[in-house]
Amino acid sequence: MPQKTKNRGRILIYLGLLLIMGVALMWVLVLSPQTSQPPLAGSEAQPVEEMTSIVISVQPVQYGQVITADMVTLIPYPQRLIVPGLFFTDINDVIGQRVTMDIDAKTPLTSTLITTDLTGSLNSYKIPDGMVAVTIPVISPIASVGYLVQPGDHVNVIGTMLYVDVDSEFQSRLPNLMVAVQAPGMGAVPSMTALVDSGTVVGTDGRAEQDPSLGQPVYLIPSEPQRPRIVSQTLLQNILVLDIGENEPAEADQLEASNTATQNPDSTVTINTTVRPRIVTLVVSPQDAVALNYLMYSGVQMNLALRGAGDTILAETNTVSLQYALDLYNIVLPAQIPYSLEPAVTALSLPSVETFATPY
């Protein structure tokens, strides 16, 4: 019996030793590797980024305005993103300078947005380098898109001109005029050379044709002066409107103001007159300025076409003449028939209310 008890105690000791060894092995395999692993990348301390300050606007500033202290402030900006000489880091460097274009609030001020040169008009700061401003007349609502064009808009310029045939030597409009020529040795006063009676015009230069009814040649001369041929084409595209000017009150507003002043001499009522621009100033290249100057003095009629905001597409257009319009829109010439409408219509005009109210 004592022997069995001794064996049982020995077995318990062995089991305890095995349990202790198992726990130690678990600690080595599970707990020890975790403590020896390096820390994760995300747990590393991030370096503090070096910052600096740049000057920004705190309110919208219009071109030509002088910057004051209440228009700007400083904000932090990463030093690594600073381009040398681009941003201003001191407010005192921009105060008293003039902006060269419209800027919005929260806009970083750069060397291209401000200038120390206070000479010249405000409009001159809107003209890009290499460009010039030129003024053209737009005295009608048709030419100025119903007076909708405003400074800052972009327009196309359409030119319409008249062409006539001329004698290349005389540089005068055809057909030429004809005068009487007296042959040598004839007339009351004998002569050795031909005499040209330049004071008597016989007729205009025409052409001979065989008349089918008479069966003999006849000489045809024009029934009227040569009719000019009209053509239209886009001259310039996407042109900046710098300004409009020389405004005049509308005739109806002028008449209303005059009648009010006549009926009520002591009246203090103010008449709100509608102004209509007569000229528009465009920003173009120097060569286009010379071309526009020539076209104006040549009598070319120029109309404006207002472009959509942000539209910079340059479209290719064709010169429009009578033949082009007939072909493009498939206009069929009317047939010559033995009847017509009465009264005769010899010129086009917009119909009025009286035209429809009073029957023929």
In-domain check, residue 100: yes
Supply 112's token pair. Answer: 């291209």
CATH code, 84: 3.90.1210.10
In-domain check, residue 345: no
Is the domain of 291 the same as that of 314?
yes
In-domain check, residue 322: yes
Could you read off the pLDDT of 30-82 as tens digits, one per residue? 555 444 455 555 556 667 778 888 899 999 988 778 889 999 999 998 888 88
How far is the C-alpha of 69 from the C-alpha of 59, rounded, in Å? 11
Tell me, rounded to whole angstroms, the distance of Cα 185 from its chain centroid: 71
Neighbours of 24 (CB within 10 A): 10
191 close to 163: Cβ distance less than 8 angstroms: no
In-domain check, residue 294: yes
What DSSP line would sit under 251-310, residue for residue? HHHHHHHHHHHHH-TT--PPP-PPEE-SEEEEEE-HHHHHHHHHHHHTT-EEEEEEPPTT
Is the domain of 59 the same as that of 156?
no
How far is the C-alpha of 91 from the C-alpha of 142, rounded, in Å? 49
Is the domain of 159 the same as that of 276?
yes
Q: How many domains is the chain partitioned into structurally?
A: 2
Supply 3's token pair. Answer: 């022997």
pLDDT at 165 over 90: yes
Is the domain of 110 the same as that of 236?
no
Instruction: Give me the numbers of helices (H) and strands (E) for the chain, helices first please.
Output: 6, 15
- Nearest Cα residue to 231 out of 324, 326, 328: 324
In-domain check, residue 304: yes
Give me the pLDDT at residue 299, please: 92
pLDDT at 319 over 90: yes
Is the domain of 150 the same as that of 243?
yes
- Look up residue 322 and give its amino acid: L
Give the residue-averaged pLDDT of 100-105. 84
Range of the domain at 69: 51-126
Is the domain of 143 the same as that of 248?
yes
Give the residue-averaged pLDDT of 331-344. 91
Mean pLDDT of the chain: 80
- Look up residue 191 and give its amino acid: S
Give the residue-averaged pLDDT of 253-263. 59
Give the residue-averaged pLDDT of 94-100. 86
111 vs 119, which has greater pLDDT? 111
Give the residue-averaged pLDDT of 107-123. 78
128 pLDDT tier (thresholds 50, 70, 90)? confident
Is the domain of 257 the same as that of 292?
yes
100 pLDDT tier (thresholds 50, 70, 90)? confident
Instruction: Say which range, 35-44, 78-87, 125-134, 186-195, has the weakest mean pLDDT.
Output: 35-44
Is the domain of 245 the same as that of 323?
yes
